[in-house]
Amino acid sequence: NEPTNAAPADKPTGKKIVVGFAQIGAESGWRDAETASIKETFENDSNFELKFSDAQQKQENQIKAIRSFIAQKVDAIGLAPVVESGWETVLKEAKDAGIPVFLLDRSITAGHEDLYTSFIGSDFVLEGQNAAKWMLEELGADAKVNIVQLEGTVGASAANDRKKGFEEAIAGHAGYKIVYSQTGDFTRAKGKEVMEAYLKKDKNIQVVYAHNDDMALGAVQAIEEAGLKPGTDIKIIGVDGIKGAFEAISQGKMNVTIECNPLLGPQLKQAILDYKEGKELPRWIKSEEDVYFGQKAIDALPNRKY
C-alpha cells in the first residue's frame, strides 16, 4: 500500500543524484575493496542512487553499461576503464548527452582529456619507479639480478604504466635483467600459473616484480611448491597494499608492497558534488600512497582497511 500523501519526514525530499558506475570485474582483492568503497559511499547516502554494473573484464560490457546509463539519463557516470584505448565513441555519446564522466583508478589514452571531467586515481608510473627503487636499494645498484615481471591485464593503464616506470628506472643498471615478462591478468591463479611454468624452465631468478599483490601471492605459492623460499631465495615485489600482502611480508614470504589506494568512493562522491556546484575540478585527483616493507609493514598490518 503506497502512501499517497507527503514523503516521510526522515527522507530528503530533493531529487536523488543518480550515479551509474561501470566497474571492471572482481579480479583482485584491490578491485573488491574498490567496489565495496563505492557501494558503501553511495548506498549510505540517501541523496544518491547508485546503478552498478560489473563488466566481467570485458570492455564491450562496459560500453554497453555506459550506453544504458546514458539512456537512463543518470546524473553522472563513473568508469574504471579495463583498457586504455577505444573509449572515444562512447565517451563522446555521454558528453553529447551532457553527462559528466569520472574515470576511477585506471585512465584512458592521453589526448582525450576533453572526454571526461576528472581522473581519480594513482600515479602508476611512480608506483613502478618505487618498486625499482626499493629493489635497487635492497640488492645494490651494481648487483646481477634476473627479474620475472608478472604484468597486469593487457592494455590496462595500471599494467602499461607500472611496467614503464619500473623498466625506465632499471634501464641504467646493466646487471638488472628482466628475463621474462608475461601477463597474469591481475589474478592470483594466473600469477601462480605463469610463475609455475617459468620455474620449470629456469630457477635462476632473484626477483619477481608483480603488477599487483594477488599475482605476487600466486607467485609465492608457485615458488614454495617448486621447493624455493619466496622472500629469501627470490625477492617478491607487489603493488596495491592488500592485507594478504602485509601478512605475507610479516611471514617473510614477500618483501614489499607499493601501496595503491582503492578506497575511492568518497573522492568520487565529492567530485560529483563539486561538479554539481559548478566548481572547477582538477584533471587528475591523485591518491597519496606509501611503500611498505619490513617492520613498517608489520606495524601497519593491524590498521589496514583492505
Where does this chain bind ligand GYE (CB under 6 A)? Answer: 27-28, 30-31, 105-106, 158, 186, 212, 214, 239-240, 260
Q: Where are the alpha helices (DSSP H) in 171-207?
A: 188-201
Q: Which is nearer to ligand GYE, 75 or 167 (CB)?
A: 167
Q: Which is nearer to ligand GYE, 32 or 274 (CB)?
A: 32
Contacts of 293 (CB under 8 A, 6+ apart): 134, 249, 255, 256, 257
Nearest approach, Cβ of 121 to ligand GYE (angstroms)? 7
CB 219 within 8 A of CB 190: no
Q: Which is nearer to ligand GYE, 17 or 121 (CB)?
A: 121
Q: In what order do the strands lie in the sheet with 76-79?
A: 48-54, 17-23, 76-79, 101-104, 118-121, 284-286
Q: Which is nearer to ligand GYE, 219 or 260 (CB)?
A: 260
Nearest approach, Cβ of 240 to ligand GYE (angstroms)? 5
Beta bridge partners of 149: 181, 209
Nearest approach, Cβ of 97 to ligand GYE (angstroms)? 26
CB 300 within 8 A of CB 24: no
The tally of CA atoms less than 13 A away on the side-chain side of residue 64 is 10
Q: Which is nearer to ligand GYE, 46 or 85 (CB)?
A: 85
Nearest approach, Cβ of 81 to ligand GYE (angstroms)? 9
Nearest approach, Cβ of 28 to ligand GYE (angstroms)? 4
Ramachandran category for residue 118: left, alpha or beta (phi over 0 → left; psi -120 to 50 → alpha): beta
